[in-house]
Amino acid sequence: MKFSAYAIAALLSALLFAPACFAQAADEEQQARLAEIKQRIETLQQELNQVKSERDQLLKDLEANEKDISELLQRIDKIKSDMQSRGQKLQELKQEEKQLEESRRSMQRRVEQEVAAAYRLGRQEQIKLLLNQQDPQHIARQLRYHDYFLKQRSRVIDDYVSTLSELETVSSGIQREQDTLARERDQLEDKRRALTSAQQARQRTLDKLATQLASKSGELDKLHGDRSRLQRLVDEVGRAIANLINPSDQTPFAKQRGRMQWPTQGRRANAFGQRRANGITWTGVTIRANEGNPVQAIHRGRVVFSDYLRGQGMLIILDHGDGYMSLYGHNQSLTRAIGEWVERGDTIAKVGNTGGLSHSGLYFEIRRHGKPQDPTAWCRG
């Protein structure tokens, strides 16, 4: 069978663009699945957060308080970062202004000298040279020298004018940066006052909750509820991500057993499987750490949950493929969103005390197919 040149070209074009089309279709399918995950999680959270008692309402109030605090802290960090960048730029502009001012003074002296020289020679320098009774070749040389000095004088004056213009631009830039910094300082103070108010509201809610949970049965009910919510979330996420495609070049999580770093520096307050005073065993490890310390991903993975969960506070979950997930709870704030890929060591959150903790720390779990694993078997040190 013979093919025309046009048919062959069309076939080659189809073969070349087919992988790109398939890749685009696969990416769109992945995005659609991620959107579906978000929707399923939102539906589950609405169910888990239903108010059934006064304690449930207090927990809902606590969630609102802690979300407000987390958002305010993120805004404060953003303003501080902006202020730091502007402060650095302001210093650079001031240094540039200083250098330009030095150049301006130097150039001004040169301009004054050129003006004085021009005044001494008068306005008819070339005519005077021509009228002098001298050798024509000597006159020609003198005229060339004279022309050179005129051009040099013009360049000196042009450079001086240009420097004055640059200096004016830099001075205006300094004023703008100073005005912006002043506004950002005001915004920072406003956010700090709002943060203080939100923290006071959180403490009032915690005091009311403490009264509700004064009995052992009340505390036990809360712990059972917290564990049940977390398990339902993990199960739902596991089902939702079952069909997501992971990169083929990713190092399997299982091969990193015993080689990974802990997600943050601090003292481990409990052991995996340790019995608590109320009879419930720990399914993860709490790491006591300073508020605001970075929380880092223990292995490459995709964010499949990044939100508040009652009992866990600001929680982020990473999917590492092959049924493995890592969970990081009680954070002050979260820095990654659902669908984002993170590398080992990337900062994904900041240590906090959300979820009603009285101290700051990170709650950390590793799970496989929804079942808790001992983190000490996976992380070094």
If asked whether residues 226 and 201 sit together in one domain, one would say: no
Specify the number of domains making up the chain.
Answer: 2
If asked whether residues 135 and 223 sit together in one domain, one would say: no
Higher-confidence position of 290 and 46 = 290
If asked whether residues 229 and 181 sit together in one domain, one would say: no
If asked whether residues 367 and 296 sit together in one domain, one would say: yes
pLDDT, average across residues 132-153: 55
Neighbours of 100 (CB within 10 A): 19
If asked whether residues 129 and 228 sit together in one domain, one would say: no
The least confident of 5-14, 187-196, 240-249, 326-335 is 5-14
The residues near 259 (Cβ < 8 Å, ≥ 6 apart) are 380
Residue 49 lies in a domain: no
The percentage of the chain sitting over the pLDDT mark of 90, rounded to a whole number, equals 28
Nearest to 354 by CA among 374, 375, 334, 326: 334
Higher-confidence position of 154 and 362 = 362
Residue 63 lies in a domain: no
pLDDT, average across residues 178-189: 81
If asked whether residues 300 and 332 sit together in one domain, one would say: yes
Would the pLDDT of 10 be above 90?
no
Neighbours of 316 (CB within 10 A): 25
DSSP letters along 22-82, please? Answer: HHHHHHHHHHHHHHHHHHHHHHHHHHHT---SHHHHHHHHHHHHHHHHHHHHHHHHHHHHH
The one-letter code for the residue type at 26 is A
Which pLDDT score, from 0 to 100, does residue 291 have?
92
Residue 88 lies in a domain: yes
If asked whether residues 161 and 268 sit together in one domain, one would say: no
Range of the domain at 181: 80-205
Please report, to the nearest 10 degrees, the dihedral formed by the alpha carbons of residues 165, 170, 176, 181 taken in order: -170
CATH number at residue 262: 2.70.70.10
Which pLDDT score, from 0 to 100, does residue 152 have?
60
Residue 164 lies in a domain: yes
If asked whether residues 257 and 186 sit together in one domain, one would say: no
pLDDT, average across residues 81-103: 79
If asked whether residues 161 and 230 sit together in one domain, one would say: no
Coil vs helix vs strand at 291: coil
